[in-house]
Amino acid sequence: MEYTGERINRRETRRRSEESEFTYLFTLDKYWTIDGAAGGSGAEYVNHSCEPNLISRILKGHIVYMSLRPIKRGEELTLDYRFDSKVEKVACKCGASKCRGTINVVR
């Protein structure tokens, strides 16, 4: 599944993240971010889990989600968001047996 949406620069990324409590922003590279709230494919609704069933990869300028294992019909799709440890901590309540307690990467 590809994460699609509007391609925005760093300045616009900062503006949108400050304006809204809920964002669907995925960093593509040092300059570009994809805003899934504007023309997204549905991939923006994949939730966080510390034990995810999907992984994200950036391939030739595209963000792609791929399964880590067979996914059962009706099973929630999850991804480890891996927020940077330098940004404000976000509590995790995923319920996974190995939940680290934060969506941020622990370093």
Q: What domain range includes position 61?
A: 2-79
pLDDT at 86: 87
* 97 within some domain: no
Mean pLDDT, each 10-residue run in order, the chain (107 residues):
97 93 91 95 95 96 97 96 89 94 88
In the chain, how many domains are there? 1
φ and ψ of 55, to 5 deg: -135, 150
* 34 within some domain: yes
Query: What is residue 52's DSSP assignment?
Result: -
* 93 within some domain: no
CATH number at residue 38: 2.170.270.10
* 40 within some domain: yes
* 66 within some domain: yes
